[in-house]
């Protein structure tokens, strides 16, 4: 395979001063006429010829300064032009076939409408171009199409002209005043309608906001519009960043490879992250829409105004923008000062990071936040680039405070607005604005793997001194990742000390004149370093890495009693939750080890009691209690074992769930009753918290050996629900209860759910996902259900949402069933990766990753996984899938 290396970066040989694109949109054959004003780049070595990138294009004609150019050669990867002048106008006509494009990259058709997706390298599937992010230019776009079939014609920027053409056709001309790289180009054409709002931005300029959808979905656009308005306001207030265009459009499309795309002024979204009403969308959907609308909007500054020099710098925009959307959601939920509400968001984000990114870091795809090489860039839109990247950005804020972080952002925009830059440029701006040398911090961008911080403490009762010794290093990783680990990192390590009364102690470090504050961010820069606190009146309990101040694993030998104490008392809500997770993880791993030996299982009453106290602590928010009572996922637990054993983990976790269900039965019933949310549905964090806790109670009740009570409650809740959160939770509880005892209630609710929502694709996705993730029984393993559902008339492999709802849900979110000992899950996986590979390599490659941690499983599973991987390696055609399976098999 061709490997692209970061070290090989060279500036482009040519620049493009402007581009004019004309489209004649026809599904089977669209003609694109591309006129570029080009010149040699004075900052690059003189190239013998011009190399334009192009894929899956049919070349029609080439002209230089208006005259046909003979010395042009089209080939598999693009177009080569010999003998070009130093400055010239280049006109290229080419054709592509949007209706046949199942990759959903480039120009394609979905539900009869035209859409584009260009990031990372889709623009070259539309026209021949210098398709790289450091070539920025201004675009004028003319769209021509049949007026009846495609009444709406959209592109980036401002609409400057429109009108009718002969033969029932019409045109629209768009101009984007801002320079942009090709990956931010977009067009949309078809039968769409918009919800519109006009607002004034901070400086008083009028802005037109539109959310474009298919006509039958217009009633589900209000929440997306409100999220957009909130995003605009938030970026003005928190970062002083204003919307720079007169018009900002969001368009929803049902066939989309990922969540959404930040094209300049014309964001294209997966319908999943736009459409919502109480009947069809859950609280999680509402929150995700707000977050993704925010994310794409925030890219307008962090990504579009300042973009990436090359794709190795992807985290420059993605890590930063994820951090911004996390902060936005936290501010929306709780405001700047509501620490408890912010903590809920923080816990949710850290859960995802630890479950997914830490796993990625321990496998064959481990890479630094700024990767050194890739085969297919689309494989590097990863948890590491996005979520760990966001943690890296968060650490600047932890080190410098909100004001210091803001100063850094201001300087970053002052220096780099309109440029394509690197992660180093960002780090240097943050350092300079705060008068700091952050050279050591570069390690966070260049080192792969999850750092581990071991902690030792010592209390000297006579001197009243408490020492905390930190040691940093890495656990086991692949040799390629090991090579990147060059020296200690600068780790902001937040710590508090808790007294026997459960209260925080005031903190005074050795050498300081007085105590100040109860949480300190220690700057841990050595391989091993000792910090000494003085005036410590009694032996404290340390609260380590408060608010998860760095993306590391902390190793410290807490006793079960100490964890229960922290769970009851830590003033840091994140660590309070963390103590419960540590306690549960420790018990669950011990139980999984016993389950693997078929030994009997038991759980100490004190553990149950610790969780009961949190559950019934009315000073804690329902949302927090829900998170505290949610056990670590099976995938996370399996990952912690020396040899992952999904079946043993499942038995252990089910044992604890059943134990908590039975021991706290009356509490669960009371909670289910008490946390009803009568009246009209509102997707606020408070109301969602009540529903979350109530539905967790229902899920626990469904674990009882006699599920009759749960079935009764869930059936009633299913029938009476006025919102999707409650209805889907009830259906899920019915499915869970039916594993204990065949119950007709589950079957009839499933059938009812389908009938009710037959015309709502996003809800039918939930219907598939609920069945793919159900528990299954020995008599009816879930693989059978899934294979059967593959033949359902509503199943469609070409639609990524549908493929994800059934296939990915089963392969990635139902470990106990997917990892069945007979290897049936792996055989299914291989079939589906190969089938998808022929249609949509990007989606296929995502599915391919479901087996990448194969080496860490028990020998029986490992061998069957290897066989499935080898089968895929032998048959897969795309660069995308090949990179994943070949790296896995190395």
Which chain residues interact with ligand B3K by CB under 6 A? 119-120, 258, 260-262, 295-296, 299, 318, 378, 381
CB of 265 to ligand B3K, least distance (A): 15
In the 8-state DSSP scheme, what is residue 124?
G
Q: CB 715 → ligand B3K: shortest distance, Å?
A: 41
Binds 444: which of ligand B3K, Zn ion, none (CB < 5-8 Å by kind): none
**Partner whose footprint covers residue 786, from ligand B3K, Zn ion, none (CB < 5 to 8 Å by kind):** none
Count of residues near Zn ion by CB under 5 A: 2
Which one of the listed residues 93, 121, 214, 296 is annotated catalytic?
296
CB of 318 vs Zn ion, minimal distance in Å: 5
Q: What three-state secondary structure class fits 846?
A: helix
Strand order in the sheet with 193-200: 193-200, 206-213, 247-253, 266-270, 260-261
The entry of Zn ion, ligand B3K, none near residue 261 (CB within 5 to 8 angstroms by kind) is ligand B3K
Residue pair 672/698 in contact (Cβ under 8 Å)? The answer is yes
Sheet strands (E) in 449-560:
451-460, 465-474, 491-498, 520-524, 528-533, 541-544, 553-555
Residue 397 tokens read as 């804020």
- From the list ligand B3K, Zn ion, none, partner contacted by residue 155 (C-beta under 5 to 8 A by kind): none
- Nearest-approach distance from CB 326 to ligand B3K, in angstroms: 13
Give the SS3 label for residue 221: coil
Query: Is residue 722 a contact partner of residue 687, using CB atoms and an 8 Å limit?
Result: no
Which C-beta is closer to ligand B3K: that of 115 or that of 718? 115
Nearer to ligand B3K, 119 or 361 (CB): 119
Task: Tell me the closest approach of the beta carbon of residue 262 to ligand B3K, in angstroms.
Answer: 5
Q: Give one word for 517, left, alpha or beta, with left for phi > 0 and alpha for psi -120 to 50.
A: left
The nearer residue to ligand B3K, 394 or 864, going by C-beta atoms, is: 394
Cβ contact 263:320 at 8 Å: no
Which of ligand B3K, Zn ion, none binds 285 (CB below 5-8 Å, type-dependent)?
A: none
Name the minimum Å distance from CB 105 to Zn ion: 16
Between 299 and 354, name the residue whose CB sits nearer to ligand B3K. Answer: 299
Largest Cα separation within the chain, whole Å, is 95
Among residues 294, 197, 208, which one has the least CA distance to residue 246? 208
Which of 319, 632 has the CB closer to Zn ion? 319
How far is Cα 248 from Cα 159, in angstroms, rounded to an integer? 12
Closer by beta carbon to ligand B3K, 318 or else 703: 318
> Would you give the DSSP letter of residue 217?
G
Q: Is 296 a catalytic residue?
A: yes
Q: Which CB, 324 or 625, lies closer to Zn ion? A: 324
Tokens of 867: 């066989």
In the numeric block, the tokens 């630094």 are attached to: 368
Residue 797 binds which entry of ligand B3K, Zn ion, none, CB below 5-8 Å type-dependent: none
Cis geometry, peptide bond prior to residue 414 (ω within 30 degrees of 0):
no
Query: Residue 381 binds which entry of ligand B3K, Zn ion, none, with Cβ cut-offs from 5 to 8 Å by kind?
Result: ligand B3K
Query: CA-CA distances (angstroms) from residue 726 to 544, 602, 696, 719?
Result: 37, 33, 11, 10
For the bound state, the minimum distance from the C-beta of residue 273 to ligand B3K, rounded and expressed in Å, comes to: 10
Burial pattern 157-172, b for ≥16 Cβ within 10 A else e, equals beeeeeeeeeeebbbb
Binders in 431-470 for Zn ion, by CB under 5 A: none
Report CA 66 to chain centroid distance, whole Å. 47
Site for Zn ion in 380-399 (CB under 5 A): none
Could you tell me the smallest distance in angstroms from the CB atom of residue 296 to ligand B3K?
Answer: 5
Alpha helices in 522-604 (DSSP H): 560-569, 573-596
3-state DSSP assignment of residue 610: helix
Q: Which is nearer to ligand B3K, 119 or 131 (CB)?
A: 119
672's contact among Zn ion, ligand B3K, none, with CB below 5 to 8 A by partner kind, is none
Nearer to Zn ion, 258 or 876 (CB): 258
> Residue 425: which of Zn ion, ligand B3K, none does it interact with, CB under 5 to 8 A by kind?
none
Q: Which token pair is 428?
A: 């240097």
Least distance from C-beta 609 to Zn ion, angstroms?
44
- Please say which residue, 260 or 448, places its beta carbon nearer to ligand B3K: 260
* Residue 93 binding target from Zn ion, ligand B3K, none, CB below 5 to 8 Å by type: none
Which residues share a beta bridge with 306?
302
The CA distance from 18 to 15, in Å, is 9
The distance of closest approach from Cβ of residue 648 to Zn ion in the complex, given in angstroms and rounded to an integer, is 38
User: Which positions from 313 through 332 interact with Zn ion, judged by CB under 5 A?
Assistant: 318, 321
Instruction: List the structure tokens of 24.
Output: 């004649």
Instruction: Identify the H or E element spanning 431.
Output: helix 423-433
Q: How far is the CB of 551 from ligand B3K (least distance, A)?
A: 19
What is the four-CA torsion angle of 291, 296, 636, 863, rounded to 10 degrees? 150
**19 vs 184 by CB, closer to ligand B3K:** 184
Q: Tell me whether residue 276 is exposed, middle or buried, using C-beta atoms within 10 angstroms of its C-beta: 0 to 12, 13 to 18, 19 or more.
A: buried
- Residue whose tokens read 């002024």: 265
In angstroms, the CA 564 to CA 781 distance is: 38
SS (H, E, C) 367-412: CCCCCCEECCHHHHCCHHHHHHHHHHHHHHHHHHHHHHHHHHHHHH
**Could you say which of ligand B3K, Zn ion, none residue 120 binds, taking C-beta under 5 to 8 angstroms by partner kind?**
ligand B3K
Chain contacts with Zn ion (rule: CB under 5 A): 318, 321
Active site residues: 296
């Amino acid at each position: 395979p061709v490997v692209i290396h970061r070290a090989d970066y060279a500036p482009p040989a040519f620049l493009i001063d402007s581009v004019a694109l004309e489209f004649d949109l026809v599904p089977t054959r669209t003609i694109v006429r591309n006129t570029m004003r080009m010149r040699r780049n004075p900052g690059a070595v003189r190239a013998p010829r011009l190399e334009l990138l192009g894929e899956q294009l049919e070349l029609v004609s080439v002209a230089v300064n208006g005259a046909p150019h003979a010395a042009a050669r089209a080939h598999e990867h693009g177009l080569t032009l010999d003998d070009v002048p130093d400055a010239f106008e280049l006109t290229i006509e080419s054709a592509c076939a949007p209706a046949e494009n199942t990759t959903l990259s480039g120009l394609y058709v979905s539900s009869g409408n035209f859409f584009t997706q260009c990031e990372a390298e889709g623009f070259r599937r539309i026209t021949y171009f210098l398709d790289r992010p450091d070539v920025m230019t201004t675009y004028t776009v003319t769209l021509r199409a049949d007026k009846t079939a495609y009444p709406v014609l959209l592109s980036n920027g401002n609409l400057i002209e429109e009108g009718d053409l002969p033969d029932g056709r019409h045109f629209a001309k768009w101009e984007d005043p801002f320079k942009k790289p090709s990956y931010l180009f977009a067009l949309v054409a078809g039968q769409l309608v918009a919800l519109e709002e006009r607002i004034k931005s901070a400086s008083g300029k009028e802005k037109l906001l539109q959310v474009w959808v298919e006509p039958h979905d217009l009633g589900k656009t209000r929440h997306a519009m409100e999220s957009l308005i909130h995003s605009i306001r938030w970026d003005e207030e928190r970062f002083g960043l204003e919307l720079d265009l007169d018009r900002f459009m969001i368009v929803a499309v049902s066939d989309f490879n990922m969540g959404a795309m930040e094209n300049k002024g014309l964001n294209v979204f997966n319908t999943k992250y736009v459409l919502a009403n109480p009947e069809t969308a859950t609280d999680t959907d509402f929150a995700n829409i707000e977050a993704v609308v925010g994310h794409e909007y925030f890219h307008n500054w962090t990504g579009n105004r300042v973009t990436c020099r090359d794709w190795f710098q992807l985290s420059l925009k993605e890590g930063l923008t994820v951090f911004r959307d996390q902060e936005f959601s936290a501010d929306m939920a709780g405001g700047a000062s509501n620490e408890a509400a912010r903590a809920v968001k923080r816990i949710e984000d850290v859960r995802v990071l630890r479950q997914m990114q830490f796993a990625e870091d321990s496998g064959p795809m481990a890479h630094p936040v700024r990767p050194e090489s890739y085969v297919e860039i689309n494989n590097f839109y990863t948890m590491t680039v996005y979520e760990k990247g966001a943690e890296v950005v968060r650490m600047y804020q932890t080190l410098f405070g909100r004001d210091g972080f803001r100063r850094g952002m201001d300087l970053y925009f002052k220096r780099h607005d309109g440029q394509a830059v690197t992660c180093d440029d960002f780090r240097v701006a943050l350092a300079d604005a705060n008068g700091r040398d952050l050279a050591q911090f570069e390690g966070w961008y260049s080192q792969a793997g999850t750092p581990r911080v071991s902690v030792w403490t010592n209390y000297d009762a006579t001197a009243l001194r408490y020492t905390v010794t930190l040691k940093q290093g890495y656990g086991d990783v692949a040799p390629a990742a090991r090579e990147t680990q060059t020296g200690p990192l600068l780790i902001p390590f937040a710590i508090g000390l808790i007294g026997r009364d459960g209260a925080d102690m005031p903190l005074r470090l050795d050498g300081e004149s007085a105590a100040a504050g109860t949480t300190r961010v220690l700057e841990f820069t050595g391989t091993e370093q000792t910090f000494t606190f003085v005036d410590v009146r009694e032996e404290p309990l340390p609260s380590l890495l408060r608010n998860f101040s760095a993306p590391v694993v902390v190793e410290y030998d807490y006793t079960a009693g100490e964890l229960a104490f922290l769970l009851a008392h830590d003033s840091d809500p994140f660590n309070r939750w963390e103590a419960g997770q540590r306690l549960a993880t420790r018990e669950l791993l011990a139980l999984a080890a016993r389950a693997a030996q078929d030994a009997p299982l038991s759980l100490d009453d004190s553990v149950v009691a610790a969780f009961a106290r949190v559950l019934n602590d009315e000073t804690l928010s329902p949302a927090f209690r829900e998170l505290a009572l949610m056990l670590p996922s099976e995938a996370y637990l399996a990952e912690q074992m020396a040899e992952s054993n999904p079946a043993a983990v499942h038995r252990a976790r089910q044992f604890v769930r059943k134990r908590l269900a039975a021991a706290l039965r009356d509490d669960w019933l009371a909670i289910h009753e008490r946390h009803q949310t009568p009246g009209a549905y509102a997707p606020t964090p408070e109301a969602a918290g009540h529903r979350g806790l109530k539905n967790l109670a229902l899920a626990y009740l469904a674990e009882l050996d006699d599920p009759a009570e749960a079935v009764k409650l869930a059936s009633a809740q299913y029938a009476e629900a006025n919102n999707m959160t409650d209805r889907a939770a009830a259906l899920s509880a019915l499915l869970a209860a039916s594993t204990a005892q065949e119950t007709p209630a589950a079957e009839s609710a499933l059938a009812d759910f389908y009938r009710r929502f037959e015309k709502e694709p996003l809800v039918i996705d939930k219907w598939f996902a609920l069945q793919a993730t159900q528990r299954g029984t020995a008599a009816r393993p879930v693989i059978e259900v899934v294979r059967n559902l593959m033949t359902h008339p509503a199943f469609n492999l070409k639609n990524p949402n549908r493929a994800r709802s059934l296939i990915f849900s089963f392969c990635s979110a139902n470990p106990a069933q997917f990892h069945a000992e007979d290897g049936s899950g792996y055989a299914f996986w291989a079939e589906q990766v190969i089938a998808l590979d022929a249609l949509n390599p990007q989606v296929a490659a995502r599915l391919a990753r479901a087996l990448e941690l194969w080496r860490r499983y028990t020998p029986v599973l490992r061998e069957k996984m290897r066989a499935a991987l080898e089968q895929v390696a032998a048959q897969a055609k795309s660069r995308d899938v090949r990179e994943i399976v070949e790296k896995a098999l190395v």
